[in-house]
Amino acid sequence: MQRFIGLLAFAVLGMLAATNATAIDFPQSPIDLPSEDPLIIACRAGDIDQVQRLVELGVSLNSADKNGLFPLLIAVYKGNLPLVRYLLSDGADVNYQTFHGPAINGSKTEETALFLLESGADLNLHIRNEGDRLVSHLLFFKAAGCGWNQLLAKVFESVIGPDIRNYNGRTPLFAAAGGGRLETMEILLGWGAQVDATDERGLTPLSDACFRRQLKAAKALIAAGADPSHQTKSGKTVLTVTVSRCWNPLINYRERDNMPILELLMESGAIMERETLTRLQNTRTCQAEYQFLKDGFERRSAALNTSAD
């Protein structure tokens, strides 16, 4: 039994990696890390009066505890804009950072991110421990994924273009498409974003939109010229990526309604590997998808034969 559980856990972790479950390039939140620092504790509790008392006693706003936590970082990650305003007005350095990066990385709302920019946050600041990665890079991805279009426009002036890449080769259009951010997608495409940009595995924004059942986003991408028959480096088509929801144990069966996306892809001339159709046929939970695609490919083949005659 223990061996079975271990194998299952390994398979689940592998599938998480394979499906690239996180569409938005967020930093890991540090707010749950333990701290014995009175100022960090007060900031975490949102107790501005206690923060003010500690500052009056000479506690620095620009120092970190042993876990790299500092007051402004906690206030931003907690989404406490009044506390953020107070800390900056009382001398907190908006560009102070530890290995967690600067506070602006953790912005939970567009309003907070814009306020930090107005307060002097440096978009060209190198994020500590992340090589050449800049604050502007991370914020551009976050704005795309969250649909923060005002922030997107402000940051765009500081990035090299709409197709900057994250750690796995994805562009901001992936984040916007996977999140169904139609207006953001339109903005990015208007700036010249590649509609069929590929990540390190050969997936495209359309693959993401289809897998995440973002029908309107998928329609918009196809209308903008996305290839519905694109294949990954391993030969997987957009249709295969889409129907992989059927046998994914991480997705509740009742949340696997692929039909609207499949209809769109079939209408757009998408192709699929024969082995995927066979797998659908042999998977009990995939019979509706199998029958729909089988019938669709048979009709397509008959139409081609008729036109050839």
The per-residue pLDDT for range 40-63, each reduced to its tens digit, is 999 999 999 999 999 999 999 999
pLDDT value of residue 205? 98
Q: Which CATH number fits domain 33-124: 1.25.40.20, 3.40.50.2300, 2.60.120.10, 3.40.50.150?
A: 1.25.40.20
pLDDT value of residue 31? 73
Query: For residues 286 and 252, is the Cβ–Cβ distance under 8 A?
Result: no
pLDDT value of residue 5? 41
Q: Which of 25-29, 147-151, 305-309 has the lowest average pLDDT?
A: 25-29
Rounded mean pLDDT of 261-283? 91
> If you search the block for the tokens 């693959």, which residue do you land on?
207
Domain boundaries, the chain: 33-124, 196-309
In the CATH hierarchy, which top-level class contains the domain 196-309?
mainly alpha
Share of the chain above pLDDT 70, in %: 86
Of residues 22, 23, 27, the one with CA closest to residue 103: 27
Beta-bridge partners for 231: 237
Of residues 75, 71, 96, the one with CA closest to residue 84: 75
User: Residue 72 corresponds to which amino acid?
Assistant: L
With residue 194 as reference, give the H or E element that holds it: none
Domains 33-124 and 196-309 are alike in CATH topology = yes
Q: What are the two backbone dihedrals, phi and then psi, of residue 8, each rounded to the nearest 5 degrees?
A: -65, -45
- Is 80 exceeded by the pLDDT of residue 169? yes
Is 0.95 topped by the overall pTM?
no
pLDDT value of residue 249? 62
Q: Which of 44-53, 55-64, 75-84, 237-246 has the lowest average pLDDT?
A: 237-246
